[in-house]
Structure 1
Amino acid sequence: MPEFINKNVGPFVSHRRTMQRHRKSNQPTSPQTMTDFHYQLTGDYVHLPVMDNVPIYMGKIGTDPEEGITMLFVLPEIKNILRTGSTFLMDGTFAAAPSFNRECQQLYVIMGITFNTGFPIAFALMSRKTARAYNALFKWLLEIEPQWTPQTIIVDFERAAMVSQALWRKVGEFGMIETCTGHRNAYDIVHMLMALPLLPVDKVMEGFLSIRQFYTENVENSLPVESCRIFQRYFQYSKVC
């Protein structure tokens, strides 16, 4: 329909490209590492990470390779939830984290629950997901807000998910799929072992021994000798895992 043809498309595209070039010329150079990003936020672009004229970038920590690098951002307007809140949700995301040439492993978010709503309080770019890295992060938060005394912390079961995936892969590698398909109790044992990481640490071994007992009483005598040998290997692997 000729009457709807925009005769000014050419100039519009030209102006848009000009705006894009102008915007790009005023943007900081893309940092290649987390340390580069830190220097930008504490150097020429220190005026950018602010909210209501209050800096939100707290700095960078990490004293050794095990801790890695953590860059912490805290929102000032709701930081008081750290002091007054009792329930907190913590989770890491990979999709939203900047890569920095794959140096950054996750964006870790700490949310306070109040009025039945989660409010993001702190964001941490982390290059490691080790216990030392998390300990350093929480110690830092306590330095920022010494009165942070959470009563309940809700986290994802990342470690449990990794163990579960590893155990399920071994079912295929050990040739146990047919056994689990044809024997309901054998199938249940595999899934009970996959759920062990969800137990309190001091109850894991007790749970493992209970599963072994269930296997002895309900499965072992009904399986061929070779299948029993494979199950023993599987138990040994799950104990190490």
Structure 2
Amino acid sequence: MTSHLNTISFLVSQKGKPVLVKDNFIYKLNKTTNSTKYYRCAEQSCTVTLHTDLNDVLVKVKGDHSHPPEPDEIEIRKFKHNLKQRAIQETVPIPKIYDEESSRFCLTSLSIAILPAQREIAGSLNKSRRLQTPVIPDSQTFDIPEVYSKTLKNEPFLCIDKFIRRKTRVLVFVSREQLTLLFESSIIFMDGTFSASPSIFDQVYSLHGIKYQQCFACAFGLLPDRKKPTYKFLFQELKNLAAEMNLCFNPVTIMSDFETGLAEAIHSELMALSLLPLHLVIQSSDDLFELILQAPSNKFDLLKPLFNYFDNYWIKHVDLKKWNVFGLEIRTNNNAEGFHNRLNSRLSKSHPNIWTFIKCIQGEQNRFNHLMIQMKGGLSSRQKTARTLAIQQRLNTLYLRHEKGDISDSELFEGLSYVVAKNMVSKKK
């Protein structure tokens, strides 16, 4: 067994060269031969030397140090090294990195006293970060270095990179394992976010799949606009990739945010229509409008534009199957929207540059790998809240009563609207 007295470690100097640490003394590499590395104490007046083999195994130490050990200097060097590595590898703001590392390191009072302040070291850290970052493009016409087209494990990540029109580009980042999960998922979630998008693109569009009752972020797209041809192009490209993998991209259910901005709030009865069995939706909508016609003129004038919008768009324009969620326990797109909240939080700023954005989603892809391994190892999905379980139980009870004939179609609709209203009130608290 190797004695702790023979334990050595390594740090990196400010010039990027390795330095050896033993017993809280620092050594610099002096020369290397075919069999041995020769180190000398970093203190200029000290003559102690240290030898290792080419595999960094300690061979011997010669001489006695003419100065005391330097544990504080070593801790500061470790602290600075961690700061620099995180500044280069992560997109987290420098002040936040400094604060996190300060909390993580148990520095002595002496170390803290001689430690550079955040404002003193920020300049060099920002410079190190800039040296590792390509030129930030001001249009969608730019080259992507290989390191930004791979995952953190150096696997292919940029799977779609095409110009759909002149100077109009679509980028989609997804690993092969993420593609497989997406194509095999019968339910997928889709959502767009705009603040996380680099300014040269219009939006970040993400697609999520379900496995082990867990929602996984699978594909990260940068889209140039919100036009129908762009979405059609995206899905056709994904179908082409599925065919190349001998898979099929044809989900049974797609959860997406259909919000158009035309109505800020929808009455609970209208929201309850999505919970009805599909064959009852049209009649229930008509019955509801008949009730509104009987309302006082001032209330009718307020509600009529809302019903016109709902009828013209959701009933006549959008296929009912696209928004009806009867029989589904996953009824909203909150998983995708929650991911975008996480993404915005990790980016720490609106409209980051393209390289910062790619680094962030490389981290998200790595998180996907870790979560998938944990789920395969038996980790259970997050438990539903008591409120969610209670709402599901109310819905199941209403459906069962309707199936048995205990309540009519109109009573089912009324009961569902009460559940929706109760849920809306709970969320506001």
Q: If the TM-score is normalised by the length of the shorter chain, which range does it land in?
A: 0.5 to 0.7
In the alignment, which residue of structure 1 is the partner of 2:86? none
- C-alpha displacement of 1:62: 5.3
Cα distance, 1:81 vs structure 2: 2.0
1:73 aligns to 2:173 (yes or no): yes
Q: Indicate the structure (1 or 2) with the bigger Cα radius of gyration.
A: 2
Corresponding residue of 1:32: 138
List structure 1 segments (4+ residues) > 6 angstroms apart after TM superposition. Answer: 194-205
Alignment of structure 1 residues 113-132 onto 2, 5 Å: 113-132=210-229
Q: CA RMSD of the aligned region, Å?
A: 3.8
TM-score, structure 1 normalization: 0.63
Q: How far, CA to CA, are the matches of 2:311 and 2:185 in structure 1?
A: 38
In the TM superposition, residue 143 of structure 1 has moved relative to its aligned partner by 0.7
Answer yes or no: is 1:144 the counterpart of 2:244.
Answer: no
Q: What corresponds to 1:209 in structure 2?
A: 286
Closer/same/farther in 2, CA of residues 117 and 27 from structure 1, 3 Å limit: same
Superposed counterparts of 1:50-89, under 5 Å: 50-51=150-151, 52-61=153-162, 63-64=164-165, 69-89=169-189
* Separation in 2, partners of 1:133, 1:201: 30
**Residue 215 of structure 2 aligns to a residue in which SS?**
strand
> Between Structure 1 and Structure 2, which shows a larger proportion of helix residues?
1
1:9-66 CA distances to partner (integer Å, 9 max, x unpaired)?
3488655532321321231122223x14xx221xxx133321243321123345359x
Q: What amino acid sits opposite 1:139 in the alignment?
A: Q
In structure 1, the partner of 2:261 is 162
Q: Distance in 1 between matches of 2:190 and 2:183?
A: 16
What displacement does 1:230 show? 5.8
Q: What amino acid is the match of 2:232?
A: N
- Aligned to 2:240, the other structure's residue is in SS state helix
Identity, in percent, stands at 20
Q: How does 1:174-193 map to 2 (within 5 A)?
A: 190-193=267-270
Matches for 1:88-99 after TM superposition, within 5 Å: 88-99=188-199
Alignment equivalent of 1:22, drawn from 128, 138, 149: 128
Q: TM-score, normalised by structure 2?
A: 0.39
- Cα distance change, pair 10–126 in 1 and its aligned pair in 2 (3 A): same
Alpha-carbon distance in 2 for matches of 1:72, 1:129: 15
CA offsets, 1:76-124, max 9 Å, x none? 2332224433332222233433233xx422x222222112222322111
Counterpart CA distance in 2 for 1:96 and 1:23 is 20
Match status 1:104 vs 2:202: yes
Q: Residue type matched to 2:230 in 1?
A: A
Deviation, structure 1 residue 238: 5.3
How far 1:140 moved relative to its partner? Answer: 0.5
Aligned equivalents of 1:196 and 1:4: distance in 2? 65
Runs (5+) with no aligned partner, structure 1: 169-189
Whole-angstrom CA distance in 2 between matches of 1:150 and 1:71: 21
Find the residue that maps to 2:161 and give its secondary structure.
Answer: strand
Q: State the one-letter code of the partner of 1:84.
A: E
Gaps of at least 5 residues in structure 2 are 1-107, 314-429
* Maintained 8 Å contact 1:62/1:133: no
Q: Secondary structure at the match of 2:113?
A: coil
Secondary structure of 1:98's aligned partner: coil
Q: 1:21 to 1:85 in 2, by over 3 A?
A: same
